[in-house]
Structure 1
Amino acid sequence: MSFLSLVPALVTIAVALVWRRVALALFCGVVAGALVLAGFQPLPALAGLGRSLLHAFTDADRLKIVVFILLIGGLLELISASGAYLAFGQAVGRTLRTGRKARLAAWGLSFCMFFDDYANVLISGSAMRSVMDRNKVPASVLAYMVDVVALVASVMLVSTWAAFEGALMVDAGRDLGLHGSLSDFFLRALPYHYYTFLALFLSLMVAWTGRWFGAGLDDHAYRLAEEAEVAGEGAGARHVVAPVAVLVGSAILGLFVFGVRALQAQGEPVTLIRILGAAPSVEILIGATVLAIGVAAVTLVRDGVLPHRHAPAHFGRGLGSMVSIGLIVLLATALSQMAKDLGTGLYIAHAFERFLSPATLPFIVFFISLLVTVTTGFSWGAMAIVMPVAFQLAGAQSGALIPVVSAAVITGAVSGEHVVPYSEKAVMTAAACGVAPLYHVRTQAFQTLAVITAAGMAFLLVGFHVSLVWTYVLPAAFLAGLHLLFAREAGFRA
């Protein structure tokens, strides 16, 4: 482990900033990692690069995510080509007549999609684009809100995240002789998810006031969001609501049905958090999307909104529009594996060991987890790397800090996804909202950095034994003050 383990991430970030091509940046990062692993010998590096890419492009779990993304693209294009989004915007616009109402509606819709973050950003972003356009709300603001509010999945017991987080904590705790259920560990860490709750607070302020730190950066994003769309004859809001309702409803039902069956087959106790952990979530989302596509196609063709001979072409175009997103997901997988092979996470953790004390431990763990996500682009990978290390550090310092450092790992990881354009969620959010990934991250950068600062403050306060209430009040007051003093209107009416 050495400083060279950071080279892939540094190369990726540099190329993304200079050329603004996320896929190219990821590929360059993987190439750099292969060179480092091979000791900068060209032929072994080339062989290592081939193995890394082959592993990433044949990873079954990642390929399932790509299939889900492609199918969502096909569904969204079917609806868009029919003009149903515009009809939906016109129908909703009769109620949401101001930018404030539109922003709050987008925030609320995203909050209601708490069961999965990927489905959240893709559905909420695409469904609200036409509504935002009608109310002159820039697409960059929509992207910021749905990207942040999608974090709610990480703090909901009924979500695809809860079981993963709980399993990581249980496994890390077992090594220290700590025993408890998934829900025990999850719920004890919940009060300390400072970044998540503070980010939700600031995004709600943006939705209410119509002001943010990204003002002056969003004009181009708004032009990208504009569409020359005409409502098809007979198109209505129902042609958006019906497939989305089928997708969400069947996904939630599927998670519970298949989760219970899996637990019963394994002879495991049936609890809420275990149900969601046992369910094959991505496969269920794929099945739910296929059902939604069927509903959309049947209703659009039956109602004469979209000619049946045109439907396959539009669906294919939607699939094609998401190919680049799928490529980024697979290349990000290769970069994440490269970081793991180089021991990047452990290097970062050991680099901070000398600064550790019980008071500073939560803050340093939060920062380490953030950096590991930046180097890998994948928050779940960062959690898996940092959680065992954080538990060992907490056990050596003070076992009472276990719930705090658990939350520090999780929130540090998710905050890292908001500062790099190659994280899967950033890419999906940008695609759904009609902005480029690098542009999306750049426009929300000041919001993100403000919340990272506030969350860091909270972890320092809790480390110094300040009461839980004040660890929220002081950082929230800091964010509110920044917002009132420096946030500006972004060229849309409140």
Structure 2
Amino acid sequence: MTNTIIALLPPLVAIILVVLTRRVILSLGAGSVTAAIILADFNIKETFSIIYETVKGVFFADGAWNAGNIYILLFLLILGVITAFISLSGGSRAFGEWAMKRVKTRVGAQLLTVVLGIIIFIDDYFNALTVGQISRPVTDRQKVSRVKLAYLIDSTSAPICVVAPISSWGASIIAIIGSILATHNITEYSAFSAFMQIIPMNFYVWATLAVVLIVAMGKLDIGPMKKHESLAINEGILFDPDKSMAGELQDDLPTSEKGSVGDLVWPIVVLFVGTIGAMFLTGYTATEGNVTIFSIFENTDVSLSLFIGGVLGLVVAFALFIKQIVSHNHMPKSLIMKGTAAGIKSMLPAVLILIFAWILADLIGMVGTGNYLASVIDNSSLNTALIPFLLFVIAAVMAFSTGTSWGSFGILLPIAGDIAVSTDISLLIPAMAAVLAGAVFGDHASPISDTSILSATGAGSNLIDHVLTQLPYALISAVIAAAGFLVIGFTGSTMLALITIAVLLLLLLLIGRAISNK
């Protein structure tokens, strides 16, 4: 039953349950059990054995600790503790007061988040969590709902990373493109130049960023987002207190009145600089032969770098809090343990959800969900002009079903290369662009996506509320992008496709204004 249509059942179970029940861990667990049952051919004993081995594999694989996963989980816990100490030191309060004097409108607070999301493009995990920590005090003061913040974060993390050559995403994609070109003996352009040609063709990225700006300027609050924003503006309710908020400090911690903006800024700056420095160091030491900026990012260890940056940021946050105790003597030492415990506790929901998402992703991979979806397009007879559009759709469905954009483009990019070479070589670049665009869209729309989980965590938002409020905007961007891929498939003109997208975005802006004026 693996690598067949039955392989779609586990992600469907998880996605349907998460929408119906809004209980994420239960839904991810149900999808995982479904996949294990399929793999075990309904043998109960074998099912439990598969689940046990998969859970163990999250932490221990191939005879060694699964360092990548462990570092990510530790980074989340460290970030929670950093947040607690920043709050204790009065950094969040001071930064909010400072920002209120400069960012005086809701639009300004949202645009600040968008700009930060675009600037911090090195890695999507790092982007989602860091932007949330910086922006949340400002957006909270301006009564921007947490789901709106999560949407702004999520829609400026992966979309930017996927078109940035100097990023963990860009380096990996360039490496895959290089292997595709080598396989088919294509010498007209290098992997890097091919990637640069793909950038303007990633229509979902440009549609998403344009829609984000329209939303940030208050021109398009629709669906569930409109309800959350109305509660935030009119009643000051930024999130539903009855729902779990990953990354939100639940314990009643005191806040120092002596804190300064530096108590928030310096831990984040050290976290940022430390992570970037560690990425360069780990990439440099792992690179054999000619060392370039691209080879460094291709070989960098992102999870280890995040952990190193997190530890450095935590040391600074802790030192600043100790300074409060020593200099002002108004914060008891007992708050050190209480703050640490509160920070860890705040991140436990995100940690558990991420672990269950990884388990489901591993089992889905074994069931062959991605391989089945890839075979659908690989074995079909289709009009060559439809290739970019159909690859966009298949990549989106795959990423939505598996919760991973990386896994989707890792499988589909080589297939896109095979299809283009065997049908129309001029469609190679558009086909690869369509795969990358579809993978990001599917990841955005999926409730089992790790980037959705981390964006909600960074914003202090409920995960399901984030997914449901973001979905309409992701679908709008996807429809606009799909039109672009149809145009480029039939005309071969990137410019004409971009003009089509611009016209559709202009219509969207006009519709948004009409809706907002009602």
Give the counterpart of 2:371 among 326, 346, 351: 346
**How many angstroms does 1:75 deviate by?**
1.1
**How many angstroms does 1:466 deviate by?**
4.8
Distance 1:301 1:450, change over 3 A: same
Quick one: distance in 1 between partners of 2:226 and 2:292?
A: 46
**How many angstroms does 1:300 deviate by?**
2.1
Q: Which residue of 2 aligns with 1:292?
A: 313
Deviation string, structure 1 residues 301-355 (Cα, Å, up to 9, x no partner): 2134754431232123212222222222222222222222222122112324435
Q: Which residue of 1 aligns with 2:338?
A: 313
Quick one: distance in 2 between partners of 1:195 and 1:308?
A: 51
Quick one: distance in 2 between partners of 1:176 and 1:344?
A: 27
**How many angstroms does 1:63 deviate by?**
2.2
Distance 1:354 1:282, change over 3 A: same
Give the unaligned 5+ runs of structure 1. none
Quick one: distance in 1 between partners of 2:470 and 2:186?
A: 39
Quick one: which amino acid aligns to residue 322 of structure 2? V
1:247 aligns with 2:271: yes
Q: Which residue of 1 aligns with 2:208?
A: 199
Quick one: distance in 2 between partners of 1:215 and 1:321?
A: 27
Give the counterpart of 1:209 among 218, 221, 229: 218
Q: Which residue of 1 aligns with 2:359?
A: 334
1:114 aligns with 2:121: yes
Quick one: distance in 2 between partners of 1:203 and 1:345?
A: 29
Q: Which residue of 2 aligns with 1:32?
A: 34
Secondary structure of the equivalent of 1:319? Answer: helix
**How many angstroms does 1:362 deviate by?**
0.7
Q: Which moved more, 1:303-312 or 1:56-65?
A: 303-312
Distance 1:336 1:175, change over 3 A: farther
Distance 1:192 1:163, change over 3 A: same
Deviation string, structure 1 residues 250-287 (Cα, Å, up to 9, x no partner): 22223223323332xx2x21222111112222211211
Give the counterpart of 1:484 among 495, 507, 510: 510
8 Å contact 2:198–2:429 — kept in the other structure?
A: yes
1:88 aligns with 2:99: no
Distance 1:319 1:355, change over 3 A: farther
8 Å contact 2:374–2:415 — kept in the other structure?
A: yes
Quick one: distance in 2 between partners of 1:77 and 1:258?
A: 29
When the two structures are aligned, how many residues end up with a matched partner? 488
Q: Which moved more, 1:2-11 or 1:37-46?
A: 37-46
Quick one: which amino acid aligns to residue 366 of structure 2? D
Identity of aligned residues (%): 28
Quick one: which amino acid aligns to residue 426 of structure 1? S
Distance 1:298 1:66, change over 3 A: same
8 Å contact 1:86–1:229 — kept in the other structure?
A: no
8 Å contact 1:332–1:378 — kept in the other structure?
A: no
Q: Which residue of 2 aligns with 1:453?
A: 479
Q: Which moved more, 1:146-155 or 1:467-476?
A: 467-476
Alignment of 1:102-141 (within 5 A): 102-141=109-148
Quick one: which amino acid aligns to residue 4 of structure 2? S
Deviation string, structure 1 residues 24-61 (Cα, Å, up to 9, x no partner): 21111110011112222322222222222222343432
1:144 aligns with 2:160: no
Q: Which residue of 2 aligns with 1:159?
A: 167
**How many angstroms does 1:91 deviate by?**
0.6
Quick one: distance in 1 between partners of 2:109 and 2:53?
A: 48
Alignment of 1:396-411 (within 5 A): 396-411=422-437
Distance 1:271 1:372, change over 3 A: same
Q: Which residue of 1 aligns with 2:58?
A: 56
1:423 aligns with 2:423: no
Distance 1:326 1:190, change over 3 A: same
**How many angstroms does 1:181 deviate by?**
4.7
Quick one: which amino acid aligns to residue 159 of structure 1? S
Distance 1:174 1:380, change over 3 A: same
Distance 1:67 1:178, change over 3 A: farther
8 Å contact 1:163–1:276 — kept in the other structure?
A: yes
Q: Which residue of 1 aligns with 2:4?
A: 2
1:325 aligns with 2:350: yes
8 Å contact 2:388–2:434 — kept in the other structure?
A: yes
Deviation string, structure 1 residues 111-155 (Cα, Å, up to 9, x no partner): 111111111111111221121121121111111111101121221
Distance 1:282 1:168, change over 3 A: same
Q: Which residue of 1 aligns with 2:260?
A: 236
8 Å contact 2:17–2:27 — kept in the other structure?
A: yes
Distance 1:319 1:347, change over 3 A: same
8 Å contact 1:202–1:480 — kept in the other structure?
A: no
Give the unaligned 5+ runs of structure 2. 61-65, 242-247
Quick one: distance in 2 between partners of 1:199 and 1:432?
A: 20
TM-score normalised to the size of structure 1? 0.93
Quick one: which amino acid aligns to residue 442 of structure 2? G
Quick one: distance in 1 between partners of 2:428 and 2:76?
A: 36
Quick one: which amino acid aligns to residue 97 of structure 1? K
Q: Which residue of 1 aligns with 2:407?
A: 381
Quick one: distance in 2 between partners of 1:6 and 1:86?
A: 47
**How many angstroms does 1:217 deviate by?**
4.1
Quick one: distance in 2 between partners of 1:191 and 1:156?
A: 12
Quick one: distance in 2 between partners of 1:484 and 1:140?
A: 24
TM-score normalised to the size of structure 2? 0.89
Deviation string, structure 1 residues 8-33 (Cα, Å, up to 9, x no partner): 01100111012212122111111001
Quick one: distance in 2 between partners of 1:231 and 1:342?
A: 50
1:281 aligns with 2:292: no
8 Å contact 2:150–2:455 — kept in the other structure?
A: yes
Deviation string, structure 1 residues 44-98 (Cα, Å, up to 9, x no partner): 2222222222223434322222122221122112212333212211111101111
Quick one: which amino acid aligns to residue 28 of structure 1? A
Deviation string, structure 1 residues 218-249 (Cα, Å, up to 9, x no partner): 43871348998875221121111111111112
Deviation string, structure 1 residues 184-224 (Cα, Å, up to 9, x no partner): 33223222111112101110122223533231244387134
Q: Which moved more, 1:158-167 or 1:81-90?
A: 81-90
Quick one: distance in 2 between partners of 1:391 and 1:424?
A: 27
Q: Which residue of 2 aligns with 1:462?
A: 488
Quick one: distance in 2 between partners of 1:288 and 1:490?
A: 46
Quick one: which amino acid aligns to residue 165 of structure 1? I
Deviation string, structure 1 residues 154-193 (Cα, Å, up to 9, x no partner): 2112211111111222223333233565423322322211
Quick one: distance in 1 between partners of 2:240 and 2:286?
A: 44
